[in-house]
């Protein structure tokens, strides 16, 4: 018999669906997903976000119904964003006891005891100027903002939040929140830090959903430059030292190299935030019939796992839960 030239036959392991399934290295599970929700003050309102088809701002009275849908699909964690009626210079709506996220947390907890509620801890949805902290001399004042952020975290924990997720990118926010939580007796509440958060155009649709567009300037003095990689490791490093329990990388899709870097350098759970713009692009292309939505979504989310993410925050979580059920 003629001797084969020496090459590897990689296709052997791709020969059938059963074979491919057997050798598959990464998987999506419904437990990997955190579903973002936007809660409105007011009654009987469910507004579809125009740039995010299938995503709604839901008023407090309809929130339980909305949560039930995803809970029944097997999703067991949500991240809450508040859309208040009134805003002010310091974002008081973020930390008052009757704030929208605090109310929503109490309500959801009373219905779904084992659902994990993650509170996004930031001021931008609550400030009249739309920045993530207090303004002094046309810029966000780091240390003054930390105090309000810590107050917000404590009030969210008091309302029953299971995890605090600070996203405002002030230096020292993890330690400021850790100390405040500990002093208030919440030593067991973990911090899921938005450790590595870029100043990204991918957040555009979220700012429609959360009504949090800055009224002047941009967020580049606190969120990171998309060109930087080493800086991501410095950001993650300080959050680890300050006591973070989870590290978020955000956005996800064009930052999978950073997800991998963070995974390789730290041993905390890594969370990829599949942000609003990543969702909107897929939806727009799918509505035009240009791509296969289901295949594309599963591919990109699986890529996040492959890059090293343990968890994924995604507006697609409900769709994925349905699709995973269908394929199992
Ligand atoms: C609040 C916050 C933002 C997002 C999550 N938390 C917006 C921003 O920083 O402007 C974006 C999420 C998304 O785009 O899906 N600071």
Per-residue pLDDT of the chain (328 residues; tens, 9 = 90+): 677 689 999 999 999 999 999 999 999 999 999 999 999 998 999 999 999 999 999 999 999 999 999 999 999 999 999 999 999 999 999 999 999 999 999 999 999 999 999 999 999 999 999 999 999 988 999 999 999 999 999 999 999 999 999 999 999 999 999 999 999 999 999 999 999 999 999 999 998 888 888 888 889 999 999 999 999 999 999 999 999 999 999 999 999 999 999 999 999 999 999 999 999 999 999 999 999 999 999 999 999 999 999 999 999 999 999 999 998 6
Indicate which residue of 87, 250, 283, 305 is catalytic.
250
**Active-site choice (46, 147, 197, 318):** 197
Q: Return the ligand 1 atom nearest residue 132 CA.
A: 16
The predicted structure's pLDDT at residue 308: 98
Residue 31 is predicted with a pLDDT of 97
132 lines ligand 1 (CB under 6 A): yes
Identify the residue whose C-alpha is closest to ligand 1 atom 10. 203
Ligand 1 contact, 276 CB (< 6 A): yes
Angle at 313 (CA atoms; ends 211, 178), nearest 5 degrees: 85
Measured from the Cα of 313, ligand 1's closest atom is 15
- Which architecture characterizes domain 27-327 according to CATH? Alpha-Beta Barrel (3.20)
Check if 250 is active-site. yes
For the Cβ of 255 lying below 6 angstroms from any atom of ligand 1, the answer is no
Most informative mutation of 57, 201, 212, 313 for ligand 1 (most atoms within 8 A of CB): 212
Both tokens of 112, joined, read: 């779904």
What atom in ligand 1 is closest to the CA of residue 36?
15
**How would you write 169-216 as a 3-class SS string?**
CCCCHHHHHHHHHHHCCCCCCCEEEEEEEECCHHHHHHHHHHCCCCCC
Q: Looking at residue 212, what is its pLDDT? A: 85
Q: What are the tokens at 86?
A: 């009134």
Domain boundaries, the chain: 27-327
Instruction: Decide: 275 in ligand 1 pocket, CB within 6 A.
Output: yes
Q: What is the pLDDT of residue 60?
A: 96
Helix axes 142-159, 100-111, angle to 10 degrees: 30
Q: Is the CB of 206 under 6 A from ligand 1?
A: yes
Query: Whose CA is closest to 217, among 129, 88, 122, 121?
Result: 129
Pocket probe for ligand 1: among 83, 210, 224, 254, the residue whose CB has the most ligand atoms within 8 Å is: 210
Structure tokens at 305: 């796992």
pLDDT at res. 1? 62
Look at residue 328 in the predicted model and tell me its pLDDT. Answer: 65
């Amino acid at each position: 018999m003629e001797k084969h030239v020496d090459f590897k036959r990689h296709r052997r392991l791709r020969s059938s669906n059963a074979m491919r399934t057997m050798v598959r290295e990464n998987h999506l599970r419904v437990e990997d997903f955190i579903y973002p929700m936007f809660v409105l003050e007011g009654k009987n309102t469910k507004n579809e976000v125009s740039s995010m088809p299938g995503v709604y701002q839901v008023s407090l009275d309809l929130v339980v119904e909305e949560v039930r849908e995803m809970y029944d699909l097997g999703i067991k964690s949500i991240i809450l964003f508040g859309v208040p009626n009134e805003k002010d210079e310091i974002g008081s709506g973020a930390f008052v006891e009757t704030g929208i996220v605090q109310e929503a947390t109490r309500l959801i907890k009373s219905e779904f005891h084992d659902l994990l509620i993650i509170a996004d801890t930031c001021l931008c949805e609550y400030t009249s100027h739309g920045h993530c902290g207090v303004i002094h001399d046309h810029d966000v004042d780091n240390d003054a903002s930390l105090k309000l952020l810590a107050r917000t975290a404590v009030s969210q924990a008091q309302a029953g939040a299971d995890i605090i997720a600070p996203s405002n990118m002030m230096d020292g926010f993890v330690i400021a929140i850790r100390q405040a939580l500990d002093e208030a007796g919440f030593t067991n509440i973990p911090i899921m830090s938005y450790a590595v958060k870029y100043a990204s155009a991918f957040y555009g649709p979220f700012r429609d959903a959360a009504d949090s567009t800055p009224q002047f300037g941009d967020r580049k003095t606190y969120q990171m430059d998309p060109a930087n990689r080493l800086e991501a490791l410095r950001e993650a490093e300080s959050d680890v030292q300050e006591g973070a329990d989870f590290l978020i990388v955000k956005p996800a899709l064009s930052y999978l190299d950073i997800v991998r870097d963070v995974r390789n350098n730290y041993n905390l759970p890594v969370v990829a935030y599949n942000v609003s713009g990543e969702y909107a692009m897929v939806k727009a292309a799918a509505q035009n019939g240009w791509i296969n939505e289901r295949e594309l979504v599963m591919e990109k989310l699986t890529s996040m796992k492959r890059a090293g993410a343990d968890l994924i925050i995604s507006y697609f979580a409900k769709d994925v839960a349905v699709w995973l059920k269908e394929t199992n």
